[in-house]
Amino acid sequence: MKKDIILAGVGGQGILTIATIIGDAATAAGLHLKQAEVHGMSQRGGDVQSNLRLSTEPIYSDLIRQGAADLIISMEPMEALRYVPYLSAEGWIVSSSHPFKNIPNYPDEEALMNELSAMPHVATLPIEEVAKEHSLPKSANMVLLGMSARYMEILTPEQLRASIARVFASKGDKVVADNLKAFDLGLNEQ
């Protein structure tokens, strides 16, 4: 089995943490993995993405082909749309519905959400609000990961939960518990 995943967002939103957790879970599961990241200038508030490729077979390219991604996971709705040429016909988009406007010419919000909702396989959630409602303001990215877990297939939610516990272990039990709670909120939402 093979899963090509594009993680998208704005520099500083925490997509590399999502990538780290999926990467850790994949390694623990003995899967092959390639994970291309963006470092450098774009991390200063620009658009950032990570190409994550998981497979039971060896992987060659670090980059995903156009029309081949199984999943786009995005911390921001416009950033989700940026990568649709990479999405396969049956691929899913899992995205935050909360726009991050740090540019003067951000598109009309209604038109943007309409275009996103018109995609055949899409799940959105105001992840920041959900996280805040449950007093987990720093764990919006884990709500998104929880939502995505239902479409990941190559990794089970339990494998991802175990990875969250490992990755956040050094930050203490409270941080681990908060992030697991946020993950479960996303997983069980909708």
Which residues make up the interface to other proteins (CB under 8 A)?
10-11, 23-24, 27, 32-47, 51, 59-67, 78-79, 81-82, 84-89, 91, 102-108, 111-112, 115, 119, 171-172
Whole-angstrom distance, CA of residue 33 vs CA of residue 155? 12
Q: Which is nearer to other proteins, 67 or 188 (CB)?
A: 67
Compute the residue count for the chain: 190
Is-contact 79 101, C-beta < 8 A? no
**CB of 137 vs other proteins, minimal distance in Å:** 15
**CB of 86 vs other proteins, minimal distance in Å:** 7
Q: Which is nearer to other proteins, 109 or 158 (CB)?
A: 109
**CB of 148 vs other proteins, minimal distance in Å:** 19
Q: Residue type at 20?
A: T
**CB of 188 vs other proteins, minimal distance in Å:** 29
Q: Which is nearer to other proteins, 93 or 130 (CB)?
A: 93
Instruction: Supply the DSSP string of 131-155, one letter for each residue.
Output: HHHTT-TT-HHHHHHHHHHHHH-SS
β pairing state of 47-55 and 32-36: antiparallel
Q: Which is nearer to other proteins, 59 or 176 (CB)?
A: 59
Is-contact 68 4, C-beta < 8 A? yes
